[in-house]
Chain A
Amino acid sequence: MLTVQNLTKTFSNGKGIFDVSFSVKEGEVFGFLGPNGAGKSTTIRHIMGFMKPDKGYVKVNGLDTWKEQGKFQSYVGYLPGEISFFDGMTGKTFLDFMADMQGMKDLSKRARLIDRLQFDVHTPIRKMSKGMKQKVGIVATFMHDPNVIILDEPTSGLDPLMQKVFIEIVLEEKARGKTFLMSSHNFPEIERTCDRAAIIKDGVIITVKDVHELQSMQRKLFEVTFENQAEAKTFLDSGLLIESHEGDRVRVSVQGNYDKFVEETAKYKIRNIDIFTQNLEDIFMNYYERKETMK
């Protein structure tokens, strides 16, 4: 459905993307991950035909996105990373304009989306908060019922409730056979929606992995508060990976071995457990570093 083949673009400062290839199957949600400046946006710009590749191509539904402008867009819904609309429009006039540009006749899907995301379409866009603008953008992305949906940081600015609604929408569309490419920093979002994810760094795809594999790579930090300092001390010898120890509190790093962690902590009286999820960047950084050392 979406094929990126040997995509290469070198900028004058030597940065860019190099030989990026991956393909997303119909009905698949594909995550696109990597630190800032790694080449995510550049790749998405090529997918949308905003840039001309030095080498390689992007095809959506068999149509080259640089050479076949004007055709491939009707299959694509796009949510830009930084949304900006036109001056002097309300949400309604913007969506009407976009519906016209898409040549849409059936507005029922749009109405349902607006209803679900709960926002007032008659607010002038310049008075909208970031989250509200994001909602307008999401409606514009999905309303013409595209087959391929490109999302650049889709939930930034949304509150947790709306993030949940958004994930639901993605899963429903996925169930209807729609194809997604989604760049994100938000691990729960990727975890819940994606089948596979590519990791890009310095313009090169490091790996394409199954999301379950990524999950097992994720480390979680548990901060356990014991009844007293002595118990905390004996816990240190449990064989778990201890990150730090201070008074009656111990930080344990757990990666996959939840069983053992529960088993060990159950031996003590615990006053409190805090959980820190390692963010995606850290996971990748870990991943890269391990790779480097393996070499």
Chain B
Amino acid sequence: MNATLYKQMMKVNMKSFMNYAFGSAFYILLMFWLYPSLAKNTKAIDELVQTMPEGVGKAFGLNGFGSAEAFISGEYYGLILVLILSIVCVQVSTQLMAKLVDQGSMAYLLSSPTTRGKVAFTQASVLTTGLFLIMAVTTIAGFAGNAWFLGDGYVFDTSKFIQMNVAAFLLFFAVGGVSFLVSSLSNDEKKALSISGLITFGFFSLDLVGKFSEKIDWVRNISIFSLYKPGEIINGNADLAVPFLILAVIGLVSISLAIVLFRKRDLLL
């Protein structure tokens, strides 16, 4: 870990982290604000969802409107948050490694008395910190929204809400780790961006397609996104330990691999 580099990289990326974090916080607050007016008509909406083909509701994580966290899990954690954080992972991981190699500014980092291992580890820490910040701000906004718009009049299960946020963080730790690995091995910024974009959104689409129909349900097994089940967490029928562990391991292994391979690689600087 190189403290100077960490500080500098956080400074450079802080603005975009905060933009995403506040965008996410704003959206979740909006959902909390909407919920009370929808909750009155829960039944009607639930019926409407019932009339949709089963796959559609499942794919987009529509999870009923019985409780605030169920509503949020369906309306936000099921799709929008996943998209936002996928973009963050792909973009930031590319900027942290491949872009510096492509532009040549990595030469300056490596000509100062530090090692490649330290540089890669520091950059991975910046990515992880960013993801953590975004999820932390989102979680806090969730609590604020609950206190602000819902009060005691509505059901809100705090621990499940937190579990759902931890699940989201771990999913993107894994996705970010894989993107970071791609980025660390690339000489070309655009190539890194398209490869990790393809992997991330490919996994995402496999998961989505798999949810549409029972028949092709198996494709979800290929995708790491299937380890993230906000709906099931809220409904209380998800096994947390195994998916959490797998996601954490994927993230850690990818980042370690990125560091090891970056150390041995020829750099065209």
Contact = CB atoms under 8 A, between A and B. Distances in A.
B266 A52 contact: yes
Interface string A71-98: 1011011101011111110000000011
A259 interface: no
B267 A82 contact: no
Interface in A147-205: none
A55 to B, nearest CB: 14
B4 interface: yes
Contacts of A98: 108, 112
Given A45-B268, A84-B103, A101 B110 contact: no
Contact of B107 (A80, A97, A100): A80
A102 B266 contact: no
Count chain B CB atoms within 10 A of each CB in A52, A84, A85, A140 and give the residue with the most: A84
Interface string B90-122: 000000000010011101111111111010000
A157 to B, nearest CB: 15
B107 A78 contact: yes
A255 interface: no
B104 A80 contact: yes
A74 B112 CA distance: 7
A52 B264 contact: yes
Contacts, number: 73
A160 to B, nearest CB: 26
B112 A73 contact: yes
Contact of B4 (A70, A86, A87, A97): A97
Range, interface on chain B: 20 to 34
B12 A50 contact: no
A263 B112 CA distance: 56
Contacts of B12: 86-88
Interface in A49-63: 49-52
Contacts of B144: none
Given A70-B115, A73-B111, A102-B112, A84 B267 contact: no
A79 B68 CA distance: 58
A29 B12 CA distance: 38
A69 interface: yes
B113 A71 contact: yes
A50 B108 contact: no
B183 to A, nearest CB: 16
A17 interface: no
A48 interface: yes
Contacts of B110: 48-50, 69, 73
Contacts of B269: 45, 48, 50, 80
A82 to B, nearest CB: 6
A136 to B, nearest CB: 11
Contact of B267 (A51, A86, A102): A51
B194 interface: no
A69 B114 CA distance: 7
A103 interface: yes
A50 B267 contact: yes
11 contacts: A45-B267, A48-B269, A50-B110, A70-B113, A78-B111, A82-B104, A84-B104, A86-B12, A86-B108, A101-B112, A101-B113
Across the A-B interface, give the 6 residue pairs with the lowest CB-CB distance, nearest first. Answer: A101-B112, A70-B115, A78-B111, A100-B4, A73-B113, A74-B113
Given A48-B110, A80-B269, A101-B114, 4 more contacts: A50-B110, A86-B12, A98-B112, A101-B2
